Structure 1
Amino acid sequence: MLNKFIKRGQRKVPKSEAIEPPTSNPQPSVTVNHASRSAVGPSASNSNSQLVSVSAPPTSGVVEILPMLKDVPLMDRHVVFIRKLKICCFTFDFSDPLKSAREKEIKRQTLAELIELVQTGWCKLNETLQEELVRMISVNIFRCLPPATHENSATEIDEPDEDDAFFEPSWIHLQLVYELLLRYVVSTELDTKVAKRYIDHSFVVKLLDLFDSEDPREREYLKTILHRIYGKFMVHRPFIRKAINNIFYRFIFETERHSGIGELLEILGSIINGFALPMKEEHKLFLVRALIPLHKPKCVASYHQQLSYCIIQFVEKDYKLADTVIMGLLKYWPVTNCGKEVLFLGELEEVLEATLTEEFQRCMVPLFRQIRRCLISPHFQVAERALYLWNNEHIVGLIAQNRQVILPLIFEALEKNIEGHWNQAVHGLTANVRKMFLDMDAELFEECDQQYAEREARSRELEEQRELMWKRLEEVAAQAGDDMVIG
């Protein structure tokens, strides 16, 4: 029995097989800011000499095939884990699928093993392992993004076509790295007091920069990971909100080009949903300075659904913000872009549905002046969408309470549609709205109708006088003949 224990104690780790690495990037050079970098943990006290050799970036020019961590003796697992992380620090050229194919497969298998270890919690990560893990993740994901397909182009970017979407060639590795980061962040054994040293402000900023990636798969992972970081690291929450604000400001007022605005708004939609009441002034300023101005860019259609959701969340949480939102929409209302007008009208209906009478009365005059312009729009979709507002019972109730102000504002537009709009659907919807007002208040309707008739009569009289004056000028000019001097 004693001999068995002696032999077991002398068992060695299987020898690693060396493989030539790719020559394109033999040594990673990405730097991550870790202000509170700690010393080697106590679990590595028996292997100090080995840790010194593996904690530096690999310079030997080889990629090792290491045994599975579960097959390694307990005292050596710390060192082997770090060596596996060093293997995953190598980046490869994916422009040629056949180049370094074996090395790429080794890295893929190693990443898959690391994901399983972190997900199952089988390998408890001390501070040293966490630092090396985040360093490896940083080396892989923090990179220069390729030039966007729309750069240096004057074409307007609306909703991107999935068939034309860019897909990252190295996604076979990047996906595993992102999955590893996600499993690390959501791990129940993660101590945020320790992890915040490595998932720091610098890491969060670089993560946010990656939202400009054109690969939708990468943006989806980034959205999930950043949301989890926001939920788990309370100390980072104000910083994350401020950093997202800065991205929005640059997008709105400088570039109007960014691939990840929709994903960032999805994260914010969840964050806004969790705001406590009464709402902080900081959050109201965010609505006014960032969210509402996001209606300005031409490419608003690509993220309008997420933006509208965030706006509605604010109004539902604090109904007093309704008139602020409506006046903001009117400020950025498109003049010549009919597609944007249809989007704005749809969002306006959702806002009005959450608006109470007092807030409605503050903005109803400028609001229905804009709706009047939409009603007589030659673009049938704009006119049709504006008329659909009367299909909403809550909005009809608000209009009915304030019909003395609203009907005189839009009566002329309704009459002009009845008299001569080219689209039959618009004509029919206008007739329904007109009848609704007649049933609502026949006396007011007759009064508006009489005022409209008087205005039309005066308008015809002025037109006749103008034509008569032109005729007289023509007669005078004909009599003067060649003697008339034009100066």
Structure 2
Amino acid sequence: MFNKIIKLAHKKCSKLEFPENGLQFYEVVVKHASRNAAPAPAPVTITAPAVAPANSDSQNPSPAVPPSNSTVIEPLRDVDESEHRALILQKIQGCCLLCDFSDTVDSVNERETKRQTLEELIETIHSGSFGFSENQEDLINMVSVNIFRCPPPSPHGTEYLEPEEEDRYLDPSWPHLQLVYDILLRYVVSPEIDVKTSKRYIDHVFVTKLIDLFDSEDMREREYLKNILHRIYGKYMGLRPFIRNAINDVFYRFVFETQRHSGISELLEIHASIINGFALPMKEEHRQFLIRTLIPLHKPKSISFYHEQLTHCVVQFVEKDNRLADPVIKGMLKYWPVSNSRKEVLFLGELELVLEAAQCTDSLRCIASLFRQIGRCLSSSQFQVAERAFFLWSNEYFVSLVAQNRNVILPVIFEALENNMKGHWSRVVQGLTANVRKMFLEMDTELFEVCQRQYIEKEAKTIELEEKRELTWEKLEAEAAQALREDIVN
């Protein structure tokens, strides 16, 4: 009876075939979830529920059917070497059977049996007696059946909201998924695996589906995916351009279509390590990635959830080639927030890092437009934005940049400084304004006085125009009243 069950499972879990069309993309850098060493496993019971084949329709696997009977397979350490490989194959095929985690009673034994089997496979891999090269096709099939699945609908709908710590989504099948991901990670990093042979299994379709999983709301899964994909990128040289393009597709879809994706920060972490390895002079492909992909990522409202990783990527580009500071700043000004003060504070912090990384003002051709925006931030009624803008002057490089370009910068921001001194509601902002005015005055007294005279003249003209406007309205009102009286008389 057992042999029939194993043959049935083997047929169901034959080599996977994935369609080229209709695929999405995702990505991750993994931090191992801690797990205590499992005790020596007891004899394992392998059941044989019906399993949907892992083909193009396996994105929506049907729930596992409760088993009708079971057979006991003894632990690997209790068999002769001649039977070792056959028993490993049986256990791999047994792990292709999907358990129903929505059933809290009837499937307990099956779930525990599969967990013990997966742990025994990991123990065998760790001991070095697994034989990756002999079992890699069946192993990848088993991994694919377990991890390539249809994710549950998001409880937040189309808008991405960062959940509270206690409300984070935890996949109920994680006790199995973690072990499967552990097996996949050990397979990818194993020196026993020949890259030329394994490319038949770790191919474009497999990587595409792996990137799709980055939209998982379970952060534990995203961490494993990040680590695995990063190792694949490092080991499989031929897949590198494809992986970069696949990640770009995720970013494009996120920015211009969905505005929702759970794994953007993890994908950016992977790209940060990729950017770190770029050789100089930088290829045009990489420059275009910065301009067409990373800069538009400043547009979404949910930028706060991945801004730290995005900033790291952008700053690395500028550090490698300071001429890129100019297009980066122009792109940030294009997407500068109008009414989102939290996002504006993030932009100011990133701007400071970009300017510090550039360490060169010769390539900056957008000084005037940049400080025109900084001037608006200085006079912002939102005190956090105004304070963050003034804190730029605590950066030594920023002060040196201002000193070198004071003839352009001071006329642009002088009005904002004077308006703050006259009527900003925050005393802290007024004090910071006084410090910056004093700095400019000591830096170039003549220029400061010229700007002050121009400001006074502009104020006088503004008052004169306002008086003329009031006189014009009074004249119009008088004429209208006169016309109304004449109409009444007539």
Same fold (TM over 0.5): yes
1:374 and 1:383 in contact (8 A); partners too: yes
Q: How does 1:407-486 map to 2 (within 5 A)?
A: 407-483=410-486
Instruction: Note the 1:275-286 alignment, pairs <5 A.
Output: 275-286=278-289
Q: Which residue matches 1:49?
A: none
- Given candidates 48, 52, 57, the residue that maps to 1:28 is 52
Instruction: Tell me the equivalent position of 1:109.
Output: 116
Summarize the alignment of residues 52-451 of structure 1 with structure 2, pairs less than 5 Å apart.
Answer: 63-127=70-134, 129-151=135-157, 157-359=160-362, 361-451=364-454
Contact 2:383/2:426 (8 A) holds in 1: yes
Deviation at 1:122, TM superposition (A): 2.3
Q: Within 1, Cα distance between the matches of 2:469 and 2:369?
A: 32
User: In 1, are the aligned partners of 2:44 and 2:117 still within 8 Å (CA)?
Assistant: no
Unaligned residue ranges in structure 2 (runs of 5+)? 1-42, 58-64
Shift of 1:121: 1.9
Misfit runs of 4+, over 4 Å = 16-22, 58-63
Q: CA deviation at 1:422?
A: 0.7
Deviation (angstroms), 1:163: 2.3
Question: RMSD value over aligned CA atoms?
Answer: 2.1
How far has the Cα of 1:64 moved from its partner? 3.7
Alignment map for 1:5-20 (pairs within 5 Å): none
CA drift at 1:476: 2.8
Query: Which amino acid in structure 2 is aligned with residue 28 of structure 1?
Result: A
Aligned length: 439
1:188 CA displacement: 2.4
Structure 1 Cα separation of the partners of residues 213 and 160 of structure 2: 20
Contact 1:157/1:298 (8 A) holds in 2: no
Query: How far apart, in 2, do the equivalents of 1:473 and 1:60 lie?
Result: 91
* Displacement after TM superposition at 1:367 (Å): 0.6
Identity of aligned residues (%): 60
**Cα distance change of structure 1 residues 185 and 32 upon mapping to structure 2, 3 Å threshold:** farther
CA–CA distance in structure 1, aligned partners of residues 186 and 464 of structure 2: 78
Amino acid paired to 1:177: V
The DSSP-based 3-state class of the residue aligned with 2:358 is coil
The secondary structure found in structure 1 opposite 2:171 is: coil
1:63-108 deviations in whole A, cap 9, x for unaligned?
A: 5432222222112211111100011011111123222211211111
Q: Is the 8 A contact 1:64 1:87 kept in 2?
A: no
426 and 286 in structure 1: CA distance in 2 versus 1, 3 angstrom threshold:
same
**For the structure 1 residues 63 and 87, does the alpha-carbon distance in structure 2 shift closer, same or farther, using more than 3 Å as the test?**
farther
- TM-score, with normalisation over the residues of structure 1? 0.86
Shift of 1:326: 0.5
Q: Pick which of 167-176 and 92-101 moved more.
A: 92-101
> TM-score, normalized by length of structure 2?
0.86
Label 1:359 to 1:338 Cα distance change in 2 as closer, same or farther (>3 A): farther
Residues 121 and 189 in structure 1, CA contact (< 8 A), matched pair in contact too: no
d(CA) in 2 for partners of 1:359 and 1:98?
Answer: 70
SS of corresponding position for 1:357 = coil
* Residue segments in structure 1 that go unaligned for 5+ positions in a row: 1-15, 34-57
The structure with the larger Rg is 1
Summarize deviations over 1:105-153 as a string: whole Å, max 9, x none.
Answer: 11111101111222332222234x100000000000000000111225x
* In structure 1, distance between residues paired with 2:153 and 2:396: 49
User: Using the alignment, how far apart are the partners of 1:369 and 1:120 within structure 2?
Assistant: 64
